[in-house]
Amino acid sequence: MNIIGPQVKWLREQRDMTQNELVAHCNLVGLSISRSTLAKIESKVRRVTDSEVALLAKALKVDMSELYENHNDASKPN
Annotate 33-69 with DSSP letters as a single string. Answer: --HHHHHHHHTT-S---HHHHHHHHHHHTS-GGGGGS
Confidence of residue 76 (pLDDT cuts 50, 70, 90): very low
Confidence of residue 77 (pLDDT cuts 50, 70, 90): very low
Q: Which residue type is seen at 51?
A: S
Domain-wise residue ranges, the chain:
5-71
Q: What is the pLDDT of residues 25-36, one digit of tens each?
A: 999 999 999 999
Q: Is the dihedral of CA 9, 12, 16, 21 positive or negative?
A: negative
The answer to whether the pTM exceeds 0.95 is: no
Would you say domain 5-71 falls under CATH 3.30.70.260?
no
pLDDT at res. 58 = 98
